[in-house]
Amino acid sequence: MTTFHDLPLEERLTLARLGTSHYSRQLSLVDNAEFGEHSLLEGWTRSHLIAHVAYNAIALCNLMHWANTGEETPMYVSPEARNEEIAYGSTLNPDALRNLHEHSVARLDVAWRETSEDAWSHEVLTAQGRTVPASETLWMRSREVWIHAVDLGAVATFGDIPEVILRTLAAEITQKWTSQGAGEGLVLLDEPSSTRYPAAPGQDEVVVSGSLAGIVRYAAGRGSDGVTSSTGEVPEPPRWL
């Protein structure tokens, strides 16, 4: 099963850029008057979400600077600083947020474009404390923009997300559950392909079935519409991020 990480670097770059364009298109569909309304993420307005996605791009620029220069530049100074940054960004007016988005997108794309072949393999540290090659920023950003394009609540759905990204998300989410000891016995089943994505082994298996887009939407905590459970009642998915 091919995942995002199996693809050549150029293909991963393309998917990240396609996701950015997709997210930008969704953002263009949101009127300025709607920025203060709720996003599909509980507790966040669209302004919070837009600020978060923009600051995430800037944080990834820090990792690319680290990879290219060897100067240790973390994504965020601290978790508290990250939260304060998003809270501040949410107070910006819509035009300022659109400008922040455009600036951050351009800056990250330049950082990727100017990265040397060797620097892509240089190790950096994510905000979650994982040591990864700089090329992991392509996945981190792809995941961010494809999912949050849906969270903007314009017209995007999980069905818009490329299959290779959905497969990678399904595997990543269930692996994260397993590492946390969560979701015992829970299995995601992509019905069209009959592919199973098991979480931690458990005494009683619960299979949540649907399309690939449907089971990823469910696993990412975005609702259970379109999926069914072998026990009749679809369980609440464990927390992922």
Residue 158 near residue 169, CB atoms below 8 Å? no
Q: Which of 180, 170, 215 is nearest to 200 (CA)?
A: 180
The reply, when asked if residue 5 is annotated as ligand binding, is: no
The reply, when asked if residue 72 is annotated as ligand binding, is: no
What does the H/E/C string look like for 86-104? HHHHCCCCHHHHHHHHHHH
The reply, when asked if residue 233 is annotated as ligand binding, is: no
Residue 41 near residue 221, CB atoms below 8 Å? no
Query: CB-side exposure of 55: number of CA atoms within 13 Å?
Result: 22
Binding-site residue positions = 52, 144, 148
Binding-site residue positions for Zn(2+) = 52, 144, 148
